Amino acid sequence: MHMPDAMAAPLFDVANRAASPPSLLRRALGFARQRHWVFSAGVVMFAIVLLMLCCAHWLTPYDPAAQSLLQRLQGPSSRHWLGTDHLGRDQLSRLLVGGHFAIIIAAVTLVLSAVIGTVIGVISARQGGFVDEITMRIVDLLISFPDVVVAIFLIALMGPGYGTLIVALTVVSWTPFARLARGLAIEINAKSYIRAAEILGCSRRFIILRHIIPNAIRPLAAMGFLRFGHKLITVGGLSFIGLGVQPPHADWAAMMASSQPYLERAPLLVICPGLAIFLTALSVTWIGQGLETKRKTAGDQA
Amino acid sequence: MWLFVTRRLAVLVLTLLVVSVFAFLIPYLSDGDPAVLVLRSRVADFQVDQAAVEALRHQLGLDRSLLAQYLGWLNAALHGDFGYSYTSRAPVIDQIGRALLVSITLAMSALGIAIVIAVPLGTAAATRPGGPIDTAATFITQTLVAIPEYWMAPMGILVFALYLGWLPSAGWDGMSSLVLPAMVLALRPLAYFTRVTRAAMIDVLQAPYITAARSRGLGMTQTVLRHGVRNGAIPVVTLFALWLAGLLGGSVVVEVIFAIPGMGRLIYEAVINKDIPVLQASFVAIVALSVLINTLADILYAVLNPMVRMAHAHA
């Protein structure tokens, strides 16, 4: 037994020990150990961000929306660790809650895109021929579209709102998943166990659900994490120009936009929220990169 | 080869037709009667007169059948007439032309910066995979994709415009105002170009002709320059086209931050002002150009790579 397991097990593993011999946590630790260090670093960073967001309610020293015009644009002090913004709101409190909406919107968009993209990609690969040709043409077309521009067009048509935002971002972002899923499906389809299942008379649906999707899930997850960072930045971009997360909700990118005019006087107001978006995006990118790296080395060994 | 080109061109025309239908439908899909929208943008009064709406509806031809309206609109659009902007009252096509030129300049500068750094970096990384340069390059590219451009832009302004005073902080006036936005826009393509160059070069450097060149006593640098770069360039060209198509729509956020009068800001302002003719024309322009660039890239790819050409000739 390895040291980290021995140390971690008594601490967290009380409930699971009897239930299943290799516990979930131990498997997770083993999984993490096989990966590049960026994977673990990403997981730790992302966990800290999520924990901070979840506990933000208890951590915030002030009400994030409470204005105090007499104390506007103050520098960092013992009372306001990161100073106050142009309306005298406590910057630290706003920073702690500012990721909620962007992260939730990015995550919902991502799950929708991944599911829709995977379904379309797998169907396209299984059908082949004309359906495949048309689908891939559409993917080729959409994949080169700037997602912010498409989102802006749809917001213009449907009016602003979180529903619009999610639909608009999903419309463009299912395409990389479709392309990847299609490639994986074709690759897996050529494997002998698929032939075996077909000879045994399994239905097409069964083969997709039982063989193709389980084998494709890890590369898709890697892609998901890599895209998550990108989505987060895109949602932020829309919030930055005022078409994303709306006030009074605090949002990192919107905070940066409203502090932009005071860039010279109070640069921290722009630097800190940007750093928060950057570190969150970096953490998920590292997770995705870690998943992907392992996949390649595993492929080499097999 | 010609069959391949004709087929791609047919797809191009078909796509453009579909796009034109979408663009035409924009005013009908958005909430509100187009005639009311036009009237409201012309007179400040929110309570528009019903008789005036009817008159305008007739004048704009909105009482004709949808198909007749579409054909009329398409005919005008094909002659470069997208109507007049609701807000500036100038012909839309002129505005689009000017904005596109700005966005193309910006996009080409950004992609130029990205290529100039990414190709040598990716090639250097590929000559020794896993080596120090490769590790550093991988780390840098991973970091770059996570940087939001609306963070990099203020940071650039802070350092180069406000503290050092070397560059203007915003505007569109000569070369110096191009530097900061182009650098900010270059970061993300730089990361992707480096990654693709590295992957392509690793493939190329394993090819038999590289071993042959090396065994003839050609040095590594010479080998890479003479045989590697040209063959490794193909995927990079494709990616360049993809990014150019993407950036033509302008990077809305960067253009808004730096007050650059490109496509991104034009669209942004059209949305804010509900300026429908501008939205229609910019939608058509962006999609048409991006499809055109992708088609050209595909054809160029086929010309550069005989294997693709052959596969399509037999298909």
pTM of the predicted structure, to 2 decimals: 0.81
Q: In terms of C-beta density within 10 A (0-12 exposed, 13-18 middle, 19 or more buried), how is residue B133 classed?
A: middle
More confident residue, B298 or A10: B298
The pLDDT tens digits for B29-63 are 766 666 776 676 666 656 667 777 777 777 776 77
**At B91, is the secondary structure helix, strand, or coil?**
strand
Query: Is B148's CB within 8 Å of A236's CB?
Result: yes
Beta bridge partners of B91: B84
CA–CA separation, A91 and A73 (whole Å):
10
Query: Is B279's CB within 8 Å of A153's CB?
Result: yes
Determine the pLDDT at residue A2: 43
Query: Is A156's CB within 8 Å of B270's CB?
Result: yes
The pLDDT tens digits for B243-265 are 888 787 668 889 988 888 988 88
Contacts of B145 in chain A (CB under 8 A): 229-230, 281, 285
Phi, then psi, of B207 in degrees rounded to 5: -70, 150
Contacts of B158 in chain A (CB under 8 A): 263-264, 267, 270
The pLDDT tens digits for B148-176 are 989 998 898 888 888 887 888 777 777 77
Q: Which residue's entry shows tokens 């492929």?
A: A299
H helix intervals, A55-191: 56-59, 91-97, 100-127, 129-143, 147-158, 162-173, 175-189
By Cβ distance, the residue of B30, B245, B250 closest to A157 is: B30
CA–CA separation, B122 and B134 (whole Å):
8
Query: Is A274's CB within 8 Å of B148's CB?
Result: yes
Determine the pLDDT at residue B30: 66
Contacts of B287 in chain A (CB under 8 A): 145
Closest-CA residue of B relative to A237 is: B253
DSSP for A164-187? HHHHHHHHHHTHHHHHHHHHHHHH
> Mean pLDDT in chain B?
81
By Cβ distance, the residue of B146, B157, B249 closest to A285 is: B146
State the CB neighbour count (10 A cutoff) for residue A55.
11
CA distances for A66 relative to A69, A128, A281, A295, angstroms: 10, 58, 28, 48
Phi, then psi, of A84 in degrees rounded to 5: -125, 160
Closest-CA residue of A relative to B155 is: A271
Closest-CA residue of B relative to A277 is: B148
Query: Is A157's CB within 8 Å of B251's CB?
Result: no
Answer whether A254 touches B (CB < 8 Å). Answer: no
By Cβ distance, the residue of B252, B257, B287 closest to A152 is: B252
Average pLDDT over residues B69-93: 79
Contacts of A176 in chain B (CB under 8 A): none
Low-confidence ranges of chain A (pLDDT < 50): 1-19, 297-302
* Angle in degrees, 0-180, between the axes of helices B92-127 and B132-144, rounded to the nearest 10: 150
Determine the pLDDT at residue B110: 93
Contacts of A143 in chain B (CB under 8 A): 242
**Does the pLDDT at position B107 exceed 60?**
yes
By Cβ distance, the residue of B142, B150, B267 closest to A285 is: B142
A&B contacts, CB < 8 Å: 119
Contacts of B262 in chain A (CB under 8 A): none
- What is the least distance, in Å, from the CA of B216 to any CA of chain A? 31
- What is the least distance, in Å, from the CA of A184 to any CA of chain B? 19
- What is the least distance, in Å, from the CA of A105 to any CA of chain B? 17
**Percent of the residues in chain B that have a pLDDT greater than 70, as a whole number:** 89
Contacts of B277 in chain A (CB under 8 A): none
Determine the pLDDT at residue B44: 60
Answer whether A241 touches B (CB < 8 Å). Answer: yes
Determine the pLDDT at residue B274: 78
Closest-CA residue of B relative to A254 is: B150
Q: Which of A:34-73 have CB within 8 Å of B? A: 38
Q: Of B252, B255, B283, B292, which to mutate for an interface test with A (greatest number of A Cβ within 10 Å)?
A: B252
CA–CA separation, B150 and A271 (whole Å):
11
Closest-CA residue of B relative to A275 is: B151
Closest-CA residue of A relative to B16 is: A141
Determine the pLDDT at residue B203: 82
The percent helix, strand, coil of chain A (3-state, each to 5) is 75, 0, 25
CA–CA separation, B262 and B97 (whole Å):
10
More confident residue, B11 or B132: B132
Query: Is B145's CB within 8 Å of A285's CB?
Result: yes
Query: Is B250's CB within 8 Å of A144's CB?
Result: no
- Band of pLDDT at residue B199, cut at 50, 70 and 90: confident
The pLDDT tens digits for B135-151 are 888 888 888 888 998 99
CA–CA separation, B131 and B214 (whole Å):
20
CA–CA separation, B283 and A146 (whole Å):
12
Query: Is B286's CB within 8 Å of A143's CB?
Result: no
Query: Is A149's CB within 8 Å of B249's CB?
Result: yes
- What is the least distance, in Å, from the CA of B175 to any CA of chain A? 24
Q: In terms of C-beta density within 10 A (0-12 exposed, 13-18 middle, 19 or more buried), how is residue A195 classed?
A: exposed
**Number of residues that make up chain A:** 302
Average pLDDT over residues B178-185: 90
Contacts of A241 in chain B (CB under 8 A): 252-253, 256, 268
Determine the pLDDT at residue A153: 82
Which among A108, A114, A106 is positioned nearest to A213, based on CA atoms?
A: A114
| Residues B238, B49 contacting (CB under 8 angstroms) | no
State the CB neighbour count (10 A cutoff) for residue A35.
18
Determine the pLDDT at residue A215: 81
CA–CA separation, A49 and A279 (whole Å):
9
Beta bridge partners of A243: none
Q: How far is CA A107 from the centre of its chain?
A: 5
- Band of pLDDT at residue B315, cut at 50, 70 and 90: very low
Contacts of A140 in chain B (CB under 8 A): 294
- What is the least distance, in Å, from the CA of A148 to any CA of chain B? 7
